[in-house]
Structure 1
């Protein structure tokens, strides 16, 4: 698989299918941001598989705009308004997120809802092993990921003003049903036997849920901005899937990097972790448990199977949008190619769970 940093890093001209009225946007920016000063130049980030993402460059500052994509959208997807709300609330709570400047729900501005946030400068890594860093910094960055997600799960949703941000009761059941529905409701993207099996197994094997926390939903290394020179996280990005829910489902999405190959999400499979100075899966789980006051994570294989299925359903949706010509990124093929392997890995987690 090609280097994802080459495929999805950087920004360039706005692709034809995502162009909009830049003059109308600039008027909105001037009306919304008190110290806004043009002129405006708009570039499109290479990434952004779900919501098209743009770099707004002015004379003295840069911003980021995320919008809903064009075309027919699946119900509940591309919720930029929820992204904006949680970013604003977490910023007030002192969690590392970009500063929110405004949300626009007027389709007449650029053709769909969008929000504008701070452009945070720093480093984005695409491989969970941080191979380009010296060992001491690599180890510190790895621990920073663990500490940051534990910190998120310790935030009280009520104190953060997010008490009504989701329905924690029955969270896993609803989530499993949602991703099964999203997979089945897009027949144009095709069917896989492994995915069909998971559609039957997951709802029949739901574990007891473990409370509720602010749930990121896509906590992985390339959704974090690290300080330009220090091994710490200065911003967590991409809150489209955030809600209130079982924190173990959120954490195990992050730690499934241990059970995936580098070709899928920069996984750690095949790496010599001791040689790299990185913790094993067991050690990483233990660190999170210590930081969140837990003894252990039960039903680990179920949670990982669920999260692999969920990621596969998202990729399945990208495949469908690509076939319909509405994919947000110009490079979805590499991700779509990984779909059968990811579905097979999810089925392997089921086999692990059944063997216990």
Structure 2
């Protein structure tokens, strides 16, 4: 019947986000925030939150294809001065996420793994122009200073001995994330997909399928085939866990002198689901390195070693069939990120990083090729 809308069969909080983003599509172009305007916004915000404190040293943080980010200092009466990071939504970006969920998951993992502490939240944009989160600034780098000018996380080369020093932390932190007792954590902005064993991944697929349908710039036949395959082959998930959603080299900070991981970043795509999804993501070729014929996922280790060391650290047994499923899913998801969401955000001028988004869209054919290879493997079996 006309006029009746059927809500997407996905996590309720994500379904609300899908509806809200439709209303933003008709808005005028997004104007990036100027440093002076951000300074004024922060000063007026802290005039209420931290009276008599002084905002200073406001500077834009480079990178990021979805949020505007600024670092600033806050000097409180008595001389205490600390640095913080402001993350504000653009109208659209390469992902569709919630600042409430990001704030909540960061709070939940305090003391579990190294993460920035979220301090203030403006979920409904009552003060800032768009939803925003302010968290502590953590010292560290995402790649060696000598590594070059590659986009963070894309083909980063850690090299030895740094690789060997980071690897144990890499596996230990991922194990802690997946073994975290999320049901005891009281995550109010996350729904428990416990109705049946397929619900966690069914919700996931439907969310990304809707994003593809909303934002597809071109009709890619192979994406339709991959979507159908993913829907037809949803695996059981008997023990849902927190999935980081973007766990890879480039999304953690480390101290170059001590090689200690200081913070795991970019939790905005986290959800409750199957741990194989994180493994399938970090194993993607685009995030790895190939040196002297050896491929290392996230430049940490070859895939077989990644799986063995993850199993040892976590106690979770990796199912090859499920890992293959989420390898297909992540190639499909990556295409949606760069060639649908990213391109649409650039096309509508709803993001401050339109040049970067257009650049990333050039990787779309690579993910189509990967999907073709993976689906052909299915046909040959």
1:119 matched to 2:141? The reply is no
Measured after TM superposition, the shift of residue 184 of structure 1 is 1.4
- Secondary structure, aligned partner of 1:198: helix
Q: How far apart, CA to CA, are the structure 2 residues paired with 1:278 and 1:321? A: 32
Q: How far apart, CA to CA, are the structure 1 residues paired with 2:169 and 2:261? A: 7
User: 1:34-80, CA deviations, whole angstroms, 9 ceiling, x for partnerless residues?
Assistant: 8x842324322221212222222446332111112136x89x92311
Aligned to 2:289: 268
Aligned to 2:7: none
Aligned to 1:318: 342
Q: How far apart, CA to CA, are the structure 2 residues paired with 1:184 and 1:130? A: 32
Aligned to 1:53: 69
Are residues 240 and 328 of structure 1, via their aligned partners in 2, closer, same or farther at CA, if it must alter by over 3 Å? farther
Q: How far apart, CA to CA, are the structure 2 residues paired with 1:335 and 1:139? A: 30
Measured after TM superposition, the shift of residue 168 of structure 1 is 2.7
Aligned to 2:83: 62
- Structure 2 residue aligned with 1:254, among 282, 285, 291? 282
Aligned to 1:181: 210
Gap runs ≥5 in structure 1: 1-14
Measured after TM superposition, the shift of residue 275 of structure 1 is 10
Are residues 44 and 274 of structure 1, via their aligned partners in 2, closer, same or farther at CA, if it must alter by over 3 Å? closer
Question: What is the TM-score normalised by the length of structure 1?
Answer: 0.83
Are residues 16 and 173 of structure 1, via their aligned partners in 2, closer, same or farther at CA, if it must alter by over 3 Å? closer
Q: How far apart, CA to CA, are the structure 1 residues paired with 2:48 and 2:178? A: 36
Aligned to 1:138: 163
Measured after TM superposition, the shift of residue 191 of structure 1 is 2.3
Aligned to 1:304: 327
1:213 matched to 2:241? The reply is yes
Measured after TM superposition, the shift of residue 151 of structure 1 is 1.5
Are residues 215 and 33 of structure 1, via their aligned partners in 2, closer, same or farther at CA, if it must alter by over 3 Å? farther
Question: What is the TM-score normalised by the length of structure 2?
Answer: 0.78
- Structure 1 residue aligned with 2:112, among 73, 94, 103? 94
Gap runs ≥5 in structure 2: 1-29, 76-80, 144-151
Are residues 213 and 271 of structure 1, via their aligned partners in 2, closer, same or farther at CA, if it must alter by over 3 Å? farther
Are the counterparts in 1 of residues 104 and 189 from structure 2 also a CA contact under 8 Å?
no
1:79 matched to 2:112? The reply is no
Are the counterparts in 1 of residues 67 and 87 from structure 2 also a CA contact under 8 Å?
yes
1:334 matched to 2:334? The reply is no
- Structure 1 residue aligned with 2:49, among 32, 37, 55? 32
User: Could you say what the CA RMSD is over the residues aligned between the two structures, in angstroms?
Assistant: 2.8
Aligned to 2:22: none
Aligned to 1:3: none
1:18 matched to 2:33? The reply is yes
Aligned to 1:201: 229
Q: How far apart, CA to CA, are the structure 2 residues paired with 1:33 and 1:152? A: 33
Are the counterparts in 1 of residues 156 and 288 from structure 2 also a CA contact under 8 Å?
no
- Secondary structure, aligned partner of 2:54: coil
Aligned to 1:168: 193
Are residues 44 and 191 of structure 1, via their aligned partners in 2, closer, same or farther at CA, if it must alter by over 3 Å? farther
Aligned to 1:157: 182
Aligned to 1:7: none
